[in-house]
A and B are shown apart, each in its own frame.
Chain A
Amino acid sequence: MSSQDIPEENLPAAQDTSHGAVKLADEQNPFADPGLPPHEPRVQDIDERAAKRSERAVALLFTVSMLATVGFIASYVTIPVDRSVYIWPIGHISALNFALGMTLGLALFCIGAGAVHWARTLMSDHELADERHPIEAAPEVRAKVMDDFRQGAKESALGRRKLIRNTMFGALALFPLSGVVLLRDLGPLPGTKLRHTLWSKGKLLVNMNTNEPLRPSDLIVGSLTFAKPEGLEEHDHDFQTEIAKAALMLVRIKPDDIKDKRSLEWSHEGILAYSKICTHVGCPISLYEQQTHHALCPCHQSTFDLSDGAKVIFGPAGHPLPQLRIGVNDEGYLEALGDFDEPVGPAFWERG
């Protein structure tokens, strides 16, 4: 519908653009546009001395900004990076960071404040109304566009030269495949990597604090210890990749308190070895409450009962924490009796 079709009486009341003319709403026309309020001059418009003062204020703000920028560069050059300074109420902070932040902030603030002060006190403050125009094009323009389109379609003869049309469709349909093929470089596919960790039969449990293999007597009831598989060293190039799957959380619970039969069987005299990787989205989970035997994940509050096979008792995790079967070797050290029997960490489509 073009504005030409709107009945005269539904159009908004013509706006009185002369300043000061106010048309108030009345019985007949409750939504009358009162127009703009009358223009009132500012002090600066009347008093030239006030205008000068404003000018000086704006110039001062811009000058302060310049000085602050110079101060920024000077601080960057002169203040040593490790100098510390005490500033109330923040405390001991880096002198360089503080100087850079303050000068940069002041420089930017003064540019903004100067610009606002300039616009508000010195630039013209006459309000100008700009009428809106219909968005729609005129009927003759629209007719011409449609005619041009039809003529173009006819001249291209797409309907007649079917060979060209079909091959063009073919080319356009095939082209995106080149992009799809490139997606292969996101791979290679993980294969069975998600199902295996470094743990295997006979690998000793090495204490991550002391780097020494653990003995059952080291772990007392109520203690929490983290272990890594024997042979994995922190400076190995694949340390992060491997520990992300193999990280182990060791807790000792009185065998009488362990509710899950299989869990007890896989433990060594109440020493339980659970994967430290949450089965929800793989956060390291070790907020262990030794009285309740609950382990809490800090990311989404999944809670596992370590005395009951690490069953999920709260939160979004879908699986219990996988347990590693452990025993003691001939020399009295704790050892793994195999890999985890299920994939550790978050679930994935093919996990089963």
Chain B
Amino acid sequence: MKKLSARRRHPLAALVVLLLALACTGGLYAVFAPADKAQADETAQSLTIEEGKKLYTVGCASCHGTGGQGTSDGPSLVGVGAAAVDFQVSTGRMPAATSQGAQIPRKKNIYSQAEIDQLAAYIASLGAGPAVPTEAQYGPEGADAAKGGELFRNNCAQCHNFTGKGGALTHGKYAPSLEGVTPKHIYEAMLTGPQNMPSFPDSTMSEQNKKDIIAYLNAVNGDETESPGGLELGGLGPVSEGLFAWVFGLGALIAVAVWVAARTAKAKKS
């Protein structure tokens, strides 16, 4: 101690003290930093929810109520989960132009993905519900398209047709075509059951089942899908094929017959 005290007026003493102080501050920071970061995360999360609530108040609250409790114009959003929000908003179905009419159609999405995530975070904070699926859940790895076809015909084909071309329901409602719908949105639709579509939760249709169904749809509806029979005519089934054969097939035959008979073979002037 004496030694230390003796050197307190040394020209380098101030520098040593400064270094020690810096080391202490650094150490203290290292000890407390994780806690600070977690706090920062929580703040970011609550900020996201805050932002989501703002977006919600502007775009959604008029129908779904100020706290997502629902009104006569829109259902309660408590417990629908982030997956439902991501599906409805990023396919442009929500916000809807009107709650009237048979069904809310797909339209252009006006929100950025970040805004959708904020909205989803806010709705998810109202009550537990299915989360947005990850690429691992709907990606093509480990999927069995043949099994998916079987599942699709058993669970989905009654409304969406055998290769997902869609079909009519009652009173102007319809099952939309699944062509060009992203795997993520198909997964979310199965999970949450948008509008009149029944839901197929993981407890009755496993994650693997959903992955298989998406692989099947990609196999029959993708850009590279082969159609061995030739022109698909919309893939709607025997009705459109029969109509085409009767109208265009027979029509062409009649037109040729009329043309052959109407064209004279006579020399104009002899």
Contacts and interface: CB of A to CB of B under 8 A. Distances in A.
A145 B188 CA distance: 86
Which DSSP category, helix, strand, loop or mixed, fits chain B's interface? loop
A84 B227 CA distance: 9
Q: List 8 A-B pairs, minimum CB-CB distance, nearest first.
A: A224-B198, A218-B203, A94-B228, A289-B196, A92-B226, A290-B198, A225-B204, A43-B267
A92 B226 CA distance: 5
A116 B256 CA distance: 12
Interface of A: 40-46, 84, 90-94, 97-98, 101, 116, 120-121, 125, 207-210, 214, 217-220, 222-226, 251, 284-292, 294, 296, 298, 301, 303, 314
B201 interface: yes
B159 interface: yes
Contacts of A298: 158, 167
30 contacts: A41-B267, A42-B267, A45-B267, A92-B224, A92-B225, A93-B228, A101-B230, A116-B260, A120-B260, A120-B265, A125-B265, A209-B154, A210-B204, A210-B206, A210-B209, A218-B201, A222-B193, A222-B199, A223-B193, A225-B204, A225-B205, A226-B154, A226-B155, A284-B158, A286-B158, A287-B158, A287-B159, A289-B196, A292-B196, A314-B170
Contact of B265 (A42, A208, A218, A288): A42
B5 interface: no
Contact of B196 (A116, A207, A285, A291): A291
Contacts of B232: 91
Contacts of B62: none
Contacts of A94: 226, 228-230
Contacts of A286: 158
Interface string B221-263: 0001111111110000000000000000000000000001000
B230 A223 contact: no
A34 to B, nearest CB: 18
A94 B151 CA distance: 26
A285 B205 CA distance: 19
A163 to B, nearest CB: 61
Interface residues of B, number: 37
B227 A207 contact: no
A95 to B, nearest CB: 10
Contacts of B228: 93-94, 97
A306 B203 CA distance: 22
Contacts of A41: 266-267, 270
Nearest to A217: B203
A58 B235 CA distance: 40
Given A91-B232, A209-B151, A224-B155, 6 more contacts: A91-B225, A92-B225, A209-B204, A209-B209, A223-B193, A296-B169
B165 interface: no
A219 B230 contact: no
A158 B198 CA distance: 78
Nearest to A47: B267
A287 B266 CA distance: 63
Contact of B198 (A97, A218, A223): A223
